[in-house]
Structure 1
């Protein structure tokens, strides 16, 4: 397979060629190739060609591609709002006008062979259950499949994903089959979509993908043991009659004992619901706790700006400033002080970025005490009581908790009904 760039009508185009099949009468001539008039399945060009075809059909009915997410299409008109989210050939269609949704489905049926699966209950390993209380998202079946793959369905559950006294090192026996470790960690990374309680632990074990040891594998199995005891955990989304954006940010300064890099953590609430969170090691070494916190603030500010743009495209624009909660007063003073000091010039880019947003009243910083800092869950291992307390404040609930007995029914297909 080969791709050749040619100029056609003054514009650069790509033409895809394929070598002749060995059974072709002229296959012995290496200069002869087949020019493809359309992309073939499994070619590198086929995903792009499929996206262009599908997006063109969706745009024909008046939906516009989102600037925040190229897989999101929105149409806002007097008749109602219509939203389409695509992942390859799987689509989620929603809106506040049922007739508009039916019209879109009929249009897609004329162009493609589609199957309507009805009300959204399962999408890419994520289970959804809706009721008057809201929408509950979790990955129970995904966890059970993962435990079965790791042969840990009968393991003893753990109360927290990490021992707060455990320190990750490079010492120990190197694994002979690293693919097993890598496969488990990759599946755990996808699980963090609905499980903020394992975000820090998974971020930690993913740093040793290339040379894991037996000790690292034991930490992964500890995470799986925690999942065994919290299979029913998920995120509950409720209608709180507002779309205010509130972010919490924190950093664990020099918390990594191997390279002394800091860990950035943040969580963002929209309308009182947890919608975004992150735990990631910073790329450079911070020389002070204020610098580490400020870099975390810059990362969180980028996510806040992105969410604000996304909500605006969905029909919820807001002129109110977004609130960014931080427990480091030194970093907050740097954000509001228009004068650069010699001690902060090495983080000048982040300083400019945050200060510009604060001065333009897009983001307002507010101090929160360390005892009320939710993001500790994403930056460091915690004791059981502290871990469970912060988890409940984030809105992550366990539908299998005995305290909720009577309000939940579980059918044999692992679907939830609130």
Structure 2
């Protein structure tokens, strides 16, 4: 195989070597999304979604569903280096089959947030793996239409964030405690890093720690 040297750019992801490790970002890709929507000079928002807002399937449909799906798909790829938009991307992608004007408004709000945060990315540190730690949370009945809750988790290997997810639970939960329990179960079941590290001859000597913020089922 040809030696292409140090990694600098791959599939839209910039890789910058720093004194502490490797910084991954989608700065150019994010700028292209903003430019395609004609929002380069827009005023940026401080958050990707309005705090406390819950999306519904009501309201007039968007005039161009193809544009909506194209932008939502582009934001899904941007999420590979931007964990901060995971929940917002989930919200706009749930309604891709039948988007409404409210959803397009929220999608453009996310683009305005990205416009002010294009320098953000994912920092990977040069350190030996020691512990695998997962943090999980759940938003009970976050979607009033389906009555389903949203689970979210992130997994750290030492100081490095390796995996994160935000998605709807498959079935409605009767209480916030049940929603949190499902979120913890998803966080424990999905990461397979113990087996991966064992295959790479770097096995972990301790079990995965899982942290949650609900005290109803302690």
Structure 2 gap segments, 5+ residues each? none
* 2:212 is the alignment partner of 1:326: yes
Aligned with 1:311 (options 197, 200, 211): 197
Higher RCO (C-alpha under 8 Å, 6+ residues apart): 2
8 Å CA contact retained: 2:24, 2:123: yes
Aligned with 2:55 (options 159, 162, 168): 168
8 Å CA contact retained: 1:243, 1:316: no
* 2:145 is the alignment partner of 1:258: yes
Partners in 2 of 1:243 and 1:303 — Cα distance? 19
- 1:137-286 matches, cutoff 5 A: 137-286=24-173
Partners in 2 of 1:243 and 1:313 — Cα distance? 16
Partners in 2 of 1:127 and 1:302 — Cα distance? 31
Query: How far has the Cα of 1:116 moved from its partner?
Result: 4.3
Residues 103-139 of structure 1, C-alpha deviations (whole Å, 9 max, x = no match)? xx3xxxxxxxxx5432101111111111222110110
8 Å CA contact retained: 2:130, 2:158: yes
- 1:379-398 matches, cutoff 5 A: none
Query: How far has the Cα of 1:165 moved from its partner?
Result: 4.0
Partner SS state of residue 141, structure 2: coil
Moved over 6 A (4+): none
Query: How far has the Cα of 1:316 moved from its partner?
Result: 0.9
Structure 1 gap segments, 5+ residues each? 1-104, 106-114, 334-418
Partners in 1 of 2:87 and 2:159 — Cα distance? 22
**What is the match of residue 43 of structure 1?**
none
Residues 224-281 of structure 1, C-alpha deviations (whole Å, 9 max, x = no match)? 0000000000111112433310001111111222222110000110011111110001
Indicate the RMSD between aligned Cα atoms, in angstroms.
1.4
Partners in 2 of 1:330 and 1:224 — Cα distance? 37
TM-score by length of 1: 0.50
Aligned with 1:296 (options 167, 183, 192): 183
8 Å CA contact retained: 1:239, 1:271: no
